[in-house]
Amino acid sequence: MQNTITFNPILDMEKIQSTKVSLETIPLGIRTSNFTSASGEATSSGNRLRRLFTGVLLVVLGALLWTVFAHVTGLNDQQVGADLSPDAPREIYIVQSGDTLWSISMGIDNDGDPRDTVDRLAALNGGSSLYIGQELILSN
């Protein structure tokens, strides 16, 4: 036994021709020139731009007020970065015979280019002169 479905549409041409369809009866979404607001009044593109500008302005103003509020109330008092206080722990190296800032920098710098480390060590220790037994500050 085989199941078959037959479809024979009956078209009533008179009914189809008598039905008039207008664009006002079909919801097409937003039209390019004007659209109606929830209250039914037509709004222009100038009103849309004003609303957009007002929205952006309110968001920027809100972010600015939140930032000022956070600074005034101390919500962001967390310190980030190196501890640069005088009582922060320091690494000290005692200079040996034959040491140079370059050789010391090569020993503590792992990226292969010690030039920045040499400059930092010279700045931390008051210059690039070394003498045997000097306590060289490696980090602050």
* pLDDT tens digits for range 37-63: 556 555 577 788 999 999 999 999 999
Indicate if 95 and 71 belong to the same structural domain. no
Indicate if 100 and 125 belong to the same structural domain. yes
pLDDT at site 53: 94
> Are 131 and 95 contacting, i.e. CB atoms less than 8 angstroms apart?
yes
> Are 137 and 90 contacting, i.e. CB atoms less than 8 angstroms apart?
yes
- Considering only residues 109 and 18, tell me which one the structure prediction assigns the higher pLDDT: 109
Indicate if 103 and 134 belong to the same structural domain. yes
Structural domain boundaries, residue 109: 91-139
Residue 65 lies in a domain: yes
> Residue 36 — pLDDT band, cuts 50, 70, 90?
low
Supply the CATH number for residue 106's domain.
Answer: 3.10.350
Mean pLDDT in residue range 61-73:
89
Instruction: Among 51, 76, 101, identify where a domain stops.
Output: 76
